[in-house]
Chains A and B, each alone.
Chain A
């Protein structure tokens, strides 16, 4: 599903170049549940940003489902992103001034889906995540776990093939964290590819493969055959 070849990310400043990612080679298959681990500053979030096409300034080759992302312009990347990728963030990143239902509707509206169809999809996801009763509430009226539940629902509402979860349980206590991880596992079992970043070994164990990053390099788990 994903093939990264010699992907590099560098920040240039007056003091010289700062390498954030170095020669990343990575293969991820359809249906994988990947965990990326590593110390702070290792490049985990940067790698997620590149895979999620939120960051366009990098070098190397990136193939997503036979699409050569590195050759696409920004508009095509946005299209690809909307079609295949859902995001879950540590800080939930729900929009404070939108209700639960409106937050869920937002990614659909960016996909130019007709209103009646969107309403049906939002109703389905509210039902599936058992948050129908919360649909008219604003994020600040929800607990942290409930907010992350909505955030996951928002990530999957567009039926993405790939979910990128950047420390999805980082702001939750353990029982809420387990609920979210169980949910991600269930989505994975239903066929969604998941890449998560975590520092927690227990949550890492939910995945079928762990990739270790350090100082921008993959030090373990790049392919099923091992690190490059």
Chain B
């Protein structure tokens, strides 16, 4: 132990006496370790760590799939849930939930809040207790008795000033009073974004409904049961339901998905790609520091030789060298810890708010241990090569200070060269991955949306069903709101729809075409459906290709009308002859068709999200299909953001208890839509730049060292008549051989690895040849530049001085 302490003391002194090496190595490792710790912390918090619920590994969601909506997972109908409850022997502790938005009024401006509607078994199933107060009683989960509410910690603080006497007070939601019975702990946010919870309290009628697939079902696998067993059982139940209720459950399927996988499904690919990228950065950093340590070891052969001559065993020499490298890794780790601490805060601040489990990401002791583990791994990774290489020195050469240009030396040189080749290969993969995402992001942000995104203000209004229960009331509100918004100074056009644009929301339906052969629901295909007011297409800047827009006369009671987009026309009327045809929408399950005549055709748009392919879409007159959820669109002549307060005031002038949400310009909506790809593009770009810089330092270091080792040889060459150009070419070729080898290996690796990014790319192939060629040329050029400076130094060698060098 005493000698270990002594070696540690000497190692510290050695590092202090070599501030150049120590500084570069610590900084390099610090950046690599910091980036890895921060990203791995995110992966751990979001993907790996069990959800903070009791027996979380057994908790699953049960979803309904419908063959005619193949891309969607839906909630379940309450009647189907009853059958699942009765028929399942593998699932237990089942609980229903729904997500809704409610209007919160009183005690401040009205606001729309996300609410979880939960059955009484829900929190006991998760094993969660309220922070203060109590959970819903079973009798409160019944119609007309569920007038209790539980607040989230965030809402309690934000809206109620963390009132310690909050329990027992009333709050108004959708014009109805609810009594506050509990406040949840800060960590609880389920369903995601929920700010309060009320009992689900389904009515008898709702409980017997088999049409509306809006209720999510949570359950636990019984101890010992497996996911495949549960899936097999649910598939059997679904088949039975399809046979038993062919009118409504035809084409139904049931799918069981672990809750954790469901929660993180959307961010998983991006996080894994980021983890791979930072892993590459750390490997490059280790190769770089390993290369530096090898060069330093060559200079220390005499010292090591002396130690051996004084009786040091190979173990002691290896221990000393490894200690030095572990010390570098330790200091690098300390720097990395600081960077990770800051990085985790930055991730929390910069990550899109839609990222699941973001609240669970924080710097804690786990990060400290993680940093320690990564630092130790890095220290062993880059430190073991030099320790193994130099613990058996050529004593004759070392002690007699002769050049050790024997096999050992060339072996070490090859090892350093190999490290540089690896660095460049890794850097190329990183750069290609990053360039692909940058291209993808650029294409995403410049994609043709099919409508004008400038000078457009949007806002959403959800009318309270208690205050506006009749469609006539909803129509009145809509009419008055349009009349108030239209005359606002700076407003050119105003229109409304029943679905927001670029909010990843859509309404889907099936279609029946009059006169067409009766087809099954599954084969008729699904399409998006949207109710809009007259002037909607003009307000958004869409093109009416054929026919007419909706008119003010297209109201309830008048013949039904519809306008379709190009994709829909291509699917159902490829001859272009759609105008005048009559279609009916809806599930078609035991309903009498309501026919709508197609009166116009408009261009395709990407209105669900920028990266969605335009789908067949049908527009109905909002006057003929009013709803309580309205989205307003205002085309403005000036800055649309400046009109936001006035627009909100006009809505409040109609109803001061009416919350206004999503009040933003379309450009802000687009910015929010691309927040996630922008964030990962930024991070990947950052890691690629870091990797590139480290790789260039690596190749510069190797060529510089090679030039310093070859001073004597270069002197002889120049004495024999070599011109500076000859020396320059010679040195550059030495460097470029390594660069070309690295680029070749990197290209092969990138070709294989970028395929893993497929799901993250938009309109760019993962093997895009232009990207591959561009990055290769760029990396080759900067490698050439990195070799140029040592090469130029080589041309300035004075033969007389160089020949005295040895």
A-B interaction: yes
**A contact residues vs B (CB 8 Å cutoff):** 45-46, 49, 52, 54-55, 75, 78, 81-82, 87, 89, 91, 93-98, 102, 105-107, 109-112, 114-115, 154, 158
Q: How far is the CB of A14 from chain B (nearest CB, A)?
A: 11
Beta-carbon contact of B17 and A97 below 8 Å = yes
The verdict on B316 contacting chain A, using a C-beta distance below 8 Å, is yes
User: Which residues of chain A are within 8 angstroms of B302 by Cβ–Cβ distance?
Assistant: 93
Q: How far is the CB of B735 from chain A (nearest CB, A)?
A: 28
**Complex Cα gap A106–B310 (Å):** 8
Q: Return the chain A residue nearest B317 by Cβ.
A: A110
Known contacts A54-B308, A97-B13, A106-B310: A115-B399 contact under CB 8 Å: no
Beta-carbon contact of A52 and B396 below 8 Å = no
Contacts A110-B312, A110-B316, A112-B3 known; list 8 others, CB within 8 Å: A81-B311, A93-B309, A93-B399, A96-B303, A97-B17, A109-B2, A111-B311, A154-B310
**Complex Cα gap A105–B10 (Å):** 12
Beta-carbon contact of B400 and A54 below 8 Å = no
The verdict on B358 contacting chain A, using a C-beta distance below 8 Å, is no
Beta-carbon contact of A49 and B395 below 8 Å = yes
Beta-carbon contact of A55 and B312 below 8 Å = no
User: Which residues of chain B are within 8 angstroms of A112 by Cβ–Cβ distance?
Assistant: 3
Q: How far is the CB of B453 from chain A (nearest CB, A)?
A: 66
Beta-carbon contact of B396 and A109 below 8 Å = no
Beta-carbon contact of B2 and A114 below 8 Å = yes
Interface string of B285-310 (1 = CB under 8 A from A): 00000000000000000110111111
**Complex Cα gap A109–B305 (Å):** 16
**Complex Cα gap A112–B17 (Å):** 27
The verdict on B14 contacting chain A, using a C-beta distance below 8 Å, is yes
Which 4 A-B pairs give the minimum distances between C-beta atoms? A82-B311, A110-B311, A107-B310, A54-B395
Instruction: Tell me whether chain B's interface is mostly helix, strand or loop, or mixed.
Output: helix
User: Which residues of chain A are within 8 angstroms of B311 by Cβ–Cβ distance?
Assistant: 78, 81-82, 107, 110-111, 158
Interface range on chain B (Cβ under 8 Å from partner): 20 to 34
Beta-carbon contact of A109 and B395 below 8 Å = no
Q: Return the chain B residue nearest A82 by Cβ.
A: B311
User: Which residues of chain B are within 8 angstroms of A52 by Cβ–Cβ distance?
Assistant: 309
Beta-carbon contact of B399 and A97 below 8 Å = no
Q: How far is the CB of A89 from chain B (nearest CB, A)?
A: 6
Contact among A55, A78, A97, A106 with B396 in the assembled complex (CB-CB below 8 Å): A55
**Complex Cα gap A111–B310 (Å):** 9
> Which of B6, B10, B399 lies at the interface centre, i.e. has the most chain A CB atoms within 10 A of its CB?
B399
The verdict on B313 contacting chain A, using a C-beta distance below 8 Å, is yes
User: Which residues of chain A are within 8 angstroms of B55 by Cβ–Cβ distance?
Assistant: none
Contact among B2, B303, B308, B396 with A95 in the assembled complex (CB-CB below 8 Å): B303
Complex A-B: 12 CB contacts under 8 Å: A45-B400, A54-B396, A54-B399, A55-B395, A93-B399, A96-B303, A97-B14, A97-B17, A105-B6, A107-B310, A109-B6, A110-B307
User: Which residues of chain A are within 8 angstroms of B400 by Cβ–Cβ distance?
Assistant: 45
User: Which residues of chain B are within 8 angstroms of A154 by Cβ–Cβ distance?
Assistant: 310
Beta-carbon contact of A87 and B312 below 8 Å = no
User: Which residues of chain B are within 8 angstroms of A97 by Cβ–Cβ distance?
Assistant: 10, 13-14, 17
**Complex Cα gap A52–B310 (Å):** 10
Beta-carbon contact of B313 and A78 below 8 Å = yes
Beta-carbon contact of A115 and B2 below 8 Å = yes
User: Which residues of chain A are within 8 angstroms of B316 by Cβ–Cβ distance?
Assistant: 110
Beta-carbon contact of B396 and A93 below 8 Å = no
**Complex Cα gap A212–B440 (Å):** 79
Q: Return the chain B residue nearest A91 by Cβ.
A: B401
**Complex Cα gap A111–B303 (Å):** 18
Beta-carbon contact of B10 and A54 below 8 Å = no
**Complex Cα gap A227–B10 (Å):** 47
Within 8 A of A (CB), among B379-431: 395-396, 399-401
**Complex Cα gap A87–B310 (Å):** 7
**Complex Cα gap A162–B49 (Å):** 64
User: Which residues of chain B are within 8 angstroms of A81 by Cβ–Cβ distance?
Assistant: 311
Q: Return the chain A residue nearest B3 by Cβ.
A: A109
> Which of B3, B310, B396 lies at the interface centre, i.e. has the most chain A CB atoms within 10 A of its CB?
B310
User: Which residues of chain A are within 8 angstroms of B303 by Cβ–Cβ distance?
Assistant: 95-96
Q: Return the chain B residue nearest A111 by Cβ.
A: B311
User: Which residues of chain A are within 8 angstroms of B17 by Cβ–Cβ distance?
Assistant: 97
User: Which residues of chain A are within 8 angstroms of B395 by Cβ–Cβ distance?
Assistant: 49, 54-55
**Complex Cα gap A154–B307 (Å):** 12
User: Which residues of chain A are within 8 angstroms of B305 by Cβ–Cβ distance?
Assistant: 93
Within 8 A of A (CB), among B135-164: none
**Complex Cα gap A189–B356 (Å):** 83
Within 8 A of A (CB), among B181-223: none
**Complex Cα gap A89–B13 (Å):** 25
**Complex Cα gap A158–B313 (Å):** 16
Contact among B10, B14, B313 with A110 in the assembled complex (CB-CB below 8 Å): B313
Q: How far is the CB of A17 from chain B (nearest CB, A)?
A: 16
User: Which residues of chain A are within 8 angstroms of B306 by Cβ–Cβ distance?
Assistant: 93-95
